[in-house]
Amino acid sequence: MRLLFFLIVLLNIVVLAYGQGFFGTPPSEQGREPRMLMMQRNPQAVTLGAPLTPEQAREIQAPPAAHSGTRAAQPHARH
């Protein structure tokens, strides 16, 4: 009975070491990078430009100005 117990413990240690990658690349990591490269749909379409100036960044982040002829929406009061 003790022999069976120690064999099971040893087997668990071996499986843990295999899963953690002590015998090479872990099974969860095998093929991860090539698979991601194959999933890219149109990588040549991505182009990088010059960084934005602070003024350009503010223009992008600024909310659109309200027109003078329109009223801002007011929340309705609940009764």
pLDDT at 49: 81
How far is Cα 54 from Cα 58, in angstroms, rounded to an integer?
A: 6
Q: What is the pLDDT along the chain (79 residues), one digit of tens a residue?
A: 999 999 999 999 999 998 888 888 777 776 666 666 667 777 677 677 888 888 988 888 877 666 555 555 666 666 5
pLDDT at 7: 98
pLDDT at 24: 81
Listed residue (18, 38, 17) closest to 27, CA to CA = 18
Burial per residue of 31-65, b for 16 or more beta-carbon CB atoms within 10 angstroms, e otherwise = eeeeeeeeeeeeeeeeeeeeeeeeeeeeeeeeeee
Q: What is the DSSP letter of 45?
A: G
Domain spans, the chain: 1-61
pLDDT at 72: 58
